[in-house]
Structure 1
Amino acid sequence: MSRNHRIWFPGAKYHITNRGNRRSSIFYDDFDRDAYLQLLGETRSYYPFYLHAYCLMTNHIHLQIETIHHHPKDMMKMLNSRYAMYFNKPHLLVGHVFQGRYGAELIDSSDYLLDVSRYIHLNPVEAKMVKSPSDYRWSSYSAYISDSVNPHVTTKKILSHFPEPQKENYRKFVEGSLNITPSSSKHN
């Protein structure tokens, strides 16, 4: 039986998830995470897209992307196959690294765009890996709340929903220390 085709159009935004086969770890160490980010960058050079947020957990990933001219299936096929080849070789493994088809939730509103970004950045906190999302090195959160540059992510679209000071207000939105209502009604 064939699978349903995913909705796609230029400019479509998605929350993409992918889990390790049998919920196994897909990152054993920081070298693996660095390699994944490098391969993500290489994939973006073949299939350009905007990466708004990401988080690399131990056994799964979260990516918040916006397409330009390519369906996410092309991007994910290249990224997953290249990462599987990378991962299996040094760890002396064979077979699938990822469990089934990647998940892709279409983001259909500004509110959902912001909610997904917050969810992704809070993932390590919810997993009790860190107390604050700023303590987790393997997400895009620091690019949103500090002056640190992250070549993988673009923060402009999401931060545009917040009043000045945008980075501080985004931090408050994510960490829940202040009830902020982003100016989302004027953006899509």
Structure 2
Amino acid sequence: MGRKRRAWFPGAKYHIACRGNRKSTLFYDDEDRIKYLSFLKETMVRFPFTLHTYCLMTNHTHLQIQTSDTSPTILMSHLNTKYAKYFNKKYNYSGHVFEKRYGAELLDSLDYEFDVSKYIHLNPLKAGLVDELEDYPWSSYNTYVYGELSHLVDTKHLLSYFPSPASKRYEEYIKTPLADLFLLDNGKVLMISRKEENPCVQK
């Protein structure tokens, strides 16, 4: 049976995740991470798309993108092939570097875009790699919160929905464990934190 074709149309937005083959390490050192990001930039130039958020973990990657005229299958095939050739040559390996096909979730609502952005940026903290998100240099978090210059990430789309100062409001959203965003008539979001309901308590 053939593989099911992924849903795609120009302008579609996705959360894309790629894992090392058998969950093996993708990045052994900073040189590997820098090389991956350079291949990512090269891919963006050759097949234009918008990168909203990203995070490089030890054995997997997360990208939140908006496509243009090229499907994510072509984008990721180019990116992963470039990195796999570099990786195998550097470490004298052979065979697959990445596990099967990449994972892609179609982001069909603004709520979903915010949720995925938060999930991606929280990865290093949840994995115990850092105590503070700003201490992890291999994600787009500091570009959003501290305005660090980036030739990869476009923060305008998501930050445009937060009231001024947008970076500060975005940081609060990321660091609030349970938070709902409500889109107001003025085009800005209102964040309301909530307490997790106890399923054992009867209403």
Structure 2 counterpart of 1:80: 80
1:7 paired with 2:7, answer: yes
Give me the whole-angstrom Cα distance separating, in 1, the residues matched to 2:182 and 2:96.
41
Aligned-pair distance for 1:181?
A: 2.9
Question: Which sits farther off after the overlay, 156-165 or 173-182?
Answer: 173-182
State whether residues 172 and 180 of structure 1, in contact with CA within 8 Å, keep that contact through their aligned partners in structure 2.
no
Please tell me whether Structure 1 or Structure 2 has the larger radius of gyration of its CA atoms: 2
Matches for 1:124-163 after TM superposition, within 5 Å: 124-163=124-163
Give me the whole-angstrom Cα distance separating, in 2, the residues matched to 1:31 and 1:97.
17
Give me the whole-angstrom Cα distance separating, in 2, the residues matched to 1:52 and 1:171.
15
State whether residues 16 and 102 of structure 1, in contact with CA within 8 Å, keep that contact through their aligned partners in structure 2.
yes
Root mean square deviation of aligned Cα: 1.6
State whether residues 111 and 181 of structure 2, in contact with CA within 8 Å, keep that contact through their aligned partners in structure 1.
no
Give me the whole-angstrom Cα distance separating, in 2, the residues matched to 1:178 and 1:25.
31
Identity of aligned residues (%): 51
Give the residue type in structure 2 aligned to 1:156. K
State whether residues 162 and 183 of structure 1, in contact with CA within 8 Å, keep that contact through their aligned partners in structure 2.
no
In structure 1, list runs of 5 or more residues that go unmatched: none
Give me the whole-angstrom Cα distance separating, in 1, the residues matched to 2:141 and 2:147.
11
State whether residues 111 and 184 of structure 1, in contact with CA within 8 Å, keep that contact through their aligned partners in structure 2.
no
Give me the whole-angstrom Cα distance separating, in 1, the residues matched to 2:28 and 2:155.
28
Structure 1 counterpart of 2:192: none
Structure 1 counterpart of 2:111: 111
Give me the whole-angstrom Cα distance separating, in 2, the residues matched to 1:19 and 1:184.
38
- Distance 1:88-1:164 versus aligned 2 partners, 3 A rule: same
- Distance 1:11-1:103 versus aligned 2 partners, 3 A rule: same
- Please state whether the residue corresponding to 1:16 is helix, strand or coil: strand
- Please state whether the residue corresponding to 2:94 is helix, strand or coil: coil
- TM-score normalised over the length of structure 1: 0.95
- Please state whether the residue corresponding to 2:91 is helix, strand or coil: coil
Structure 2 counterpart of 1:49: 49
Structure 2 counterpart of 1:168: 168
State whether residues 144 and 167 of structure 2, in contact with CA within 8 Å, keep that contact through their aligned partners in structure 1.
yes
State whether residues 143 and 149 of structure 1, in contact with CA within 8 Å, keep that contact through their aligned partners in structure 2.
yes
Give me the whole-angstrom Cα distance separating, in 1, the residues matched to 2:179 and 2:135.
22
Structure 2 counterpart of 1:28: 28
Give me the whole-angstrom Cα distance separating, in 2, the residues matched to 1:175 and 1:39.
30
State whether residues 161 and 184 of structure 1, in contact with CA within 8 Å, keep that contact through their aligned partners in structure 2.
no
Structure 1 counterpart of 2:198: none
Deviations 1:60-86 (A, max 9, x none): 000000001110000000000000000
Give me the whole-angstrom Cα distance separating, in 1, the residues matched to 2:69 and 2:16.
17
Give me the whole-angstrom Cα distance separating, in 2, the residues matched to 1:62 and 1:119.
10
State whether residues 39 and 83 of structure 1, in contact with CA within 8 Å, keep that contact through their aligned partners in structure 2.
yes
Structure 2 counterpart of 1:96: 96
Structure 1 counterpart of 2:123: 123
- Please state whether the residue corresponding to 1:63 is helix, strand or coil: strand
State whether residues 172 and 179 of structure 1, in contact with CA within 8 Å, keep that contact through their aligned partners in structure 2.
no
